[in-house]
Amino acid sequence: MSRVARRRGGRPEPPLVCRWDLDKTYLRSEFETIRQLLRTAFERGEDKVDVPGVVELIKAIRDAAERRHQPCRTLFVSASPPQIGKAIRAKLDLDGVPYDGIVFKNQLQHLRPGKLRNLREHVGFKLVALLRGRLEEPPEARELLFGDDWESDSLIYSLYADVIARRVEGVRLERILRAVPVDPELVREVLALAARAAGADAIERVFINLERRTPPSIFRSFGQRVVPTFNYFQTACVLGGMGRLEPADVVRVGQALVGSAGYTPRRLENSLGDLVRRGHLPLRDAHALISPLRKAGLVPGPLRASGWRRVLDAVERLRERRRRVVGPSPEETAVDYEAILERLHTATPAEASGGPA
Amino acid sequence: MPTIAVDAMGGDLAPDEVVKGVAEVSLTTDIECLVVGDERRIQAVLEGVSYNPEHIAILHCADAIGMAEDPREAVRTRHDASLIVAVRAAADGRADAVVSAGNTGACVLACAKHFRLLRGIRRAALASVFPRRTEYAGQDRLALLIDAGATVRCEADELVQFALMGHAYARRISKVANPRVGLLNMGSEPMKGGDVLVEARRRLSELPQLNFVGNVEGNELVGGRADVIVCEGLLGNVVLKLIEGVSEIFHDLSSHAGEHKLAWRLGLRLLSQEIERLRELTDYAQYGGAPILGFDRLFLKCHGRSNARAIANAVKVAAKAVRDRVPAEIADALSSLR
């Protein structure tokens, strides 16, 4: 399973950087109404609620990296104002989550005349924060990004990944940012930072927590790098498939969901089946996970074994057919940002709010 | 939570509307759906809508029985059809109930082939709800008609059993403590309707556990006199289709009347709220499916043109019937006859 370790042989692992969004990704924040927004702003650390499994997942990623003697940094980027930083830090401390930094969006700075639009503008802010963060890491650092389907995380993270990998640069990047539209001042800042930060193809995966249950097909245009997941057990399974987690780590996340979030073995089994059907977890990796999960009582026992077998057989047929139809892996196809933005700009408000931007 | 096997390929609008219905259920309840059918098509529909995969399992099968196929031949030969696989899944204990909008005859025959009739039951019955007037506050605005087409011709024994099954189902699902049971006939007098109906009436009136209100005539069907109306399948099916047809004519009239005269258009506008209420009342999509009763497992047959909402409601009704142990309730009711 530890493909990462195998691939790199005896050489030291490059550092792993995990960048997390806060609201709706780590925290179950509710700010659909003014009242909820105010409540969130004044909540104390102990009142804040984390998304089930996220704490164990963060710890598991760090522990797995540590076992491989790989430096691992956990960073949070939030569009919330720094004024709630105290409560956030208290919450992270309560959860025992080790982290290396939090970037907040300085909302007060945007209250200046002519800057009000920036209060709602996340693309420019987050890109700047990500690129600045990238410059602080060694060039060989690998990254995993975690966001949700409430704001524009899939777009921002994909753009960041392609900028870092030099797939999107210069005039095209500027055109995309203006089409979003990002504030001109931030466009200039992004372009300057991008020129300095661009280097290796460092972003391994972008995980999108489907908190709003946005249809997964919406994210297909971002390619296979973007993995929409319905719960953190699914995220852990994909990381297991990538070799970033061992089966025991995946079990640990599953146990957290069963132990404290009311999940049942059948729900976990169904989650795993869905992930394989959507093509985000190779069948052989799902096979590798099933035995330890069953041993831990996290998927139904021998009686359901034949059920799982049937699921796998069906999925194999499905994927085989897909391979024939789709042709090259989506990982090899470039993201067509112009088409994505065009679609978002022509979408109805309801469609746009359900989508990734 | 109960597991409901859903025939994804059955119905005029399958699999799209069926899968969308399942997706809707997965978002709002903890019911586990075992979706049976072509997994490629099912997955394609799922990924285009909001859903919660934690409550959805897919059981692949390549075949499906068409709505116009000969049911007997289809059930005999099409072992890998979605309907048959779903029924087998319930018979094997992998699901607690089945929901299908597919070929009605095939549904009944598949149940007869793979499920066991409850002890003492001679024939299964299809029970269906329809809207009616209420006579008192708190009365369910839906009445249950049994049989709606599973058993074409019946003996008196079978009608008595249908009455007990309908009584048990209404008690559990409609939450009517002591539902009023009527026998559909061509007159209210005890001697009306021929030997079978006369005998059935006599025996029903002798059952102390039933709140039997006697014969019910056609014009009383949509009144509140009886909560459960018993009849043979042929008659029941005609009645249901008649109600449906009248409802459709009304919808057509109300839609097109306004096109001809301004005064009618104004009148319709004034009545629009009431018309909408009537439309809701006669909308089968909100009632879920019709249960096939008499077997050890539950089967909910949905309208062939069921949309996502109808499927979702049927799945919820099936789960409720499982939770309320409807087959056991029916078995208990029938034991009193022995």
**Interface membership of B53 toward A (CB under 8 Å):** yes
Decide if pLDDT at A295 tops 50. Answer: yes
Q: Would you state the structure tokens that stand for residue A256, as one six-digit string?
A: 């957290």
CB nearest to B50's CB, from A215, A307, A318: A215
Report pLDDT for A331.
47
- Subunit contact B54:A267, Cβ cutoff 8 A: yes
pLDDT in tens, A46-98: 888 999 999 999 999 999 999 999 999 999 998 888 888 899 999 999 999 99
> Which residues 153-192 of B have a C-beta within 8 angstroms of A?
none
pLDDT in tens, B183-210: 999 999 999 999 999 999 999 999 999 9
Q: How confident is the model at residue B284 (pLDDT cuts 50, 70, 90)?
A: low
**Interface membership of A31 toward B (CB under 8 Å):** no
CB nearest to A230's CB, from B32, B52, B59: B52
Report pLDDT for A319.
62
List of chain A residues whose C-beta atoms are within 8 Å of the C-beta of residue B58: 273, 277, 311, 314
Q: How confident is the model at residue A304 (pLDDT cuts 50, 70, 90)?
A: very low
Least confident residue range of A285-299, B30-44, B280-294, B316-330: B280-294
Report pLDDT for A15.
96
**Interface membership of B60 toward A (CB under 8 Å):** yes
Phi first, then psi: give them for residue A147, nearest 5 degrees.
-140, -160
Q: What is the DSSP letter of B160?
A: H
Task: Tell me the DSSP string of A313-352.
Answer: HHHHHHHHHHHHHH-S-GGGSPP-HHHHHHHHHHS-HHHH
Could you tell me what percent of chain A has a pLDDT over 70?
78
CB nearest to B53's CB, from A263, A274, A307: A274
User: What H or E segment, with its residue span, contains residue A129?
Assistant: helix A123-135
Q: Would you state the structure tokens that stand for residue B108, as one six-digit string?
A: 């009944």
Q: What is the nearest CA distance from A212 to chain B, expressed in angstroms?
A: 8
CB nearest to A318's CB, from B40, B52, B55: B40
User: What H or E segment, with its residue span, contains residue B215?
Assistant: strand B211-216
List of chain B residues whose C-beta atoms are within 8 Å of the C-beta of residue A214: 50
Please, what is the end-to-end C-alpha distance for chain A in angstroms?
35
- Subunit contact A315:B39, Cβ cutoff 8 A: yes
ipTM over 0.90: no
The total number of residues shown for chain B amounts to 338
Cα-to-chain-centroid distance, residue B11? 14
Q: Which residue of A270, A312, A322 to mutate against B (max B Cβ within 10 Å)?
A: A270
- Subunit contact B57:A277, Cβ cutoff 8 A: no
Closest CA to A251 of A5, A4, A60: A60
**Interface membership of A323 toward B (CB under 8 Å):** no
User: Could you tell me the CA-to-CA distances from A5 to A64, A68, A225, A253, A291 in Å, in that order?
Assistant: 11, 7, 21, 21, 22
C-alpha span between B255 and A135 (Å, rounded): 66
SS3 state of residue A245 = coil
**Interface membership of B57 toward A (CB under 8 Å):** yes
Bridge partners of B295? B117
- Subunit contact B52:A318, Cβ cutoff 8 A: no
Bridge partners of B127? B146
pLDDT in tens, B144-158: 999 998 888 999 999
**Interface membership of B49 toward A (CB under 8 Å):** yes
Q: What is the nearest CA distance from B130 to chain A, expressed in angstroms?
A: 35
- Subunit contact B53:A311, Cβ cutoff 8 A: no
The whole-model pTM stands at 0.86
CB nearest to A215's CB, from B49, B54, B55: B49
Least confident residue range of A4-13, A270-279, B213-222, B248-257: A4-13
Decide if pLDDT at B260 tops 80. Answer: no
> Which residues 63-102 of B have a C-beta within 8 angstroms of A?
94
**Interface membership of A213 toward B (CB under 8 Å):** yes
CB nearest to B54's CB, from A215, A230, A278: A230
Which residue's entry shows tokens 């196929």? Answer: B69
Q: What is the DSSP letter of A290?
A: H
